[in-house]
Structure 1
């Protein structure tokens, strides 16, 4: 027997012909290790691909991930958080570090809302401002939830943070535009009434101060009433409402009109203007 050959270091493997041939244990182990290494490499490749997709998703959404251990007060940020807060991740390692980044006018409200959600074991959405190192301000949306152990102790809080500065700016612009329109509505000297479509009829939903003056204070009595009820003997006015809505345009009518509020007959100029999606603005001018 060859001194280098050790029969105890062999196992058998079936051949294509059905026979069994000896195989070295070292060779078998090498094959198994190679297979495991291939699987590990494939898993690493898949993990890297997943991380790349996640990073791209967060970048496109202008978002970052965070993870806070409240027991040991350890805060971990994803790389995207640095861009959102304008500070390096190593500068924010604990709760107080994060707290100092939040606008002082927002921190108390944000903490109260989050504490209430964590107490009730609910997910939360917080909107607040952060102070940037260059003196700027950024609006942040922070969505998070708590994790609890079997005793009910809060052991982890995780979430995602997103830049909503553009959204907040758009909301502020819309609010300002609404305020301007409201001011114009309130201050215009032209009596104006808003009628909302209700089937084949229209319901009075709002009027401005000029309309109240024109009606001698009777306009509030007609709120919630239909055009058919307010103008029972004026099919021409009802037709103007319907034509305006159907054509989504402007209809004008010049006619004498006996005000239901005062009983006086006046020469009036009516303008019916479509307001999307289902409202007609009626403006009345006394042309007497």
Structure 2
């Protein structure tokens, strides 16, 4: 049932791509849906395997389907969300490709060095096959690619969220992370013998296909609604424009349309106000460029030209110089329409005032710089950790005390300097306080740059962001070795 639904969705979106070759995200979705259906079929074959050899060969080919799923998913995120770091995307694909090569280099597959037995267990009222054997440590390469995939998607989701597209970030980014993590957890638990059950990772990926199909269908519905509006009469269209002007003005959005062939630009009343144009001023592309801050004109021209050459959506943030000398930050998004000859004919887009956000970002950067300056000049050792309990910052006095680099200390690296006899109690105090969101004070020995262990008094407190959301911990440490020595004396 699930496989049939995946194939049906794949067929539908292949048709969409066939009619609009620029809809490459739909093609990536179709490829993934087909691969998920194939994975489900292979999992069913795995449950019905008669011999260990048949089981091993089936697992081997399941990695091919998994490779297609991951590569097409990376492509979908890049094409549809227009987000995600390119180098990280290539890293995910590269690591997964290496695991696929290793999968065919080892016998029977990358999951097992040897399958010693095939057992039959009851599952949903039927008897299914599961394998017992020696796990292959090279399987960690495949699992590492899944971890990198999650990091890539999280990074892309943050970008989309910051861009203001929060529904997409929650529905699509959240679904991808959730289902990939669940599928990975199940595969790891089964392969390493933690639980005994058949592989059912395709169920999670079918859920992911459903979430992606919902998001794509949402776009189709929006396109259909737009098409119906375009078929309205001229009077209804004027009324729609009036309502749109009112709504966009209230939302602070300026709408513009550039007739590329005639080099004429229509812009809404709010848009004119954003750029500082006169109400009846005739506009062309040169007038627009003159309104742009001189330092931003070159990169904006390149972004615009790239959109005209490739057809990708135009997106940029830049400054404009208003007639009164004021500088305003604008976020712009637009799309190019091509003529039947394949030449750029028209571009439609919106502009939004993001000055306050930019000023806030600048203030945040300045605040962070002030904090680091204060922290690095403080006479105590200072550290910070994030929501995952891992340390994200150490001040200069800490690094000078330990004689290590910031890269060595980040994460759990700092723990390498804790005295072995103190490590467990130190970790227990930290974790218990972190989970309870409570301040803590603990003492432990920390290795100094000269190799000598010094007694440290560590005071940690929870920290919160401007919205009162828990953000991790911050702590300060002092060398109390001399004090302890005096007390013992």
Q: Which residue of 1 aligns with 2:93?
A: none
| Distance in structure 1 (CA, Å) of the matches to 2:322 and 2:405 | 55
More strand per residue: 1
Give the 3 Å change call, closer, same or farther, for CA 221–95 of structure 1 in structure 2: closer
- Give the one of 217, 234, 243 matched to 2:432: 243
Q: Kindly provide the CA deviation profile for residues 115-150 of structure 1, in whole angstroms up to 9, marking residues without a partner as x.
A: 112211011111111111111111111211111112
| SS of equivalent residue, structure 1 residue 189 | coil
Superposed displacement of residue 167, structure 1: 1.5
Superposed displacement of residue 88, structure 1: 1.5
- Give the one of 334, 342, 345 matched to 1:155: 345
Q: In the alignment, is the contact (CA less than 8 A) between 2:384 and 2:474 conserved in 1?
A: yes
Q: Kindly provide the CA deviation profile for residues 204-225 of structure 1, in whole angstroms up to 9, marking residues without a partner as x.
A: 4442221122224487655443
More helix per residue: 2
Cα RMSD between the aligned structures?
Answer: 2.9
Superposed displacement of residue 108, structure 1: 1.1
| SS of equivalent residue, structure 2 residue 293 | coil
Matched, 1:180 2:370: yes
Larger radius of gyration: 1
Please show how residues 203-282 of structure 1 align to structure 2 within 5 Å: 203-217=390-404, 221-225=408-412, 230=418, 232-234=420-422, 235-253=424-442, 255=443, 257=445, 259=447, 262-276=450-464, 277=470, 279-282=472-475
Q: Kindly provide the CA deviation profile for residues 126-180 of structure 1, in whole angstroms up to 9, marking residues without a partner as x.
A: 1111111111111111211111112111111111111111121111111211221
Please show how residues 44-193 of structure 1 align to structure 2 within 5 Å: 46-47=236-237, 49-193=239-383
Superposed displacement of residue 247, structure 1: 3.1
Residue ranges of structure 2 left out of the alignment (5+ in a row): 1-231, 465-469, 483-489
Give the 3 Å change call, closer, same or farther, for CA 90–197 of structure 1 in structure 2: closer
Residue ranges of structure 1 left out of the alignment (5+ in a row): 1-41
Q: In the alignment, is the contact (CA less than 8 A) between 1:203 and 1:227 conserved in 2?
A: no
Q: Identify which range, 212-221 or 150-159, moves more after superposition.
A: 212-221
| Distance in structure 2 (CA, Å) of the matches to 1:116 and 1:79 | 28
| Distance in structure 2 (CA, Å) of the matches to 1:195 and 1:244 | 13
| Distance in structure 1 (CA, Å) of the matches to 2:477 and 2:296 | 47
TM-score for the superposition, normalised by structure 1:
0.73
Q: In the alignment, is the contact (CA less than 8 A) between 2:317 and 2:332 conserved in 1?
A: yes
Aligned residues: 243
Give the 3 Å change call, closer, same or farther, for CA 89–152 of structure 1 in structure 2: farther
TM-score for the superposition, normalised by structure 2:
0.45
| SS of equivalent residue, structure 2 residue 254 | strand
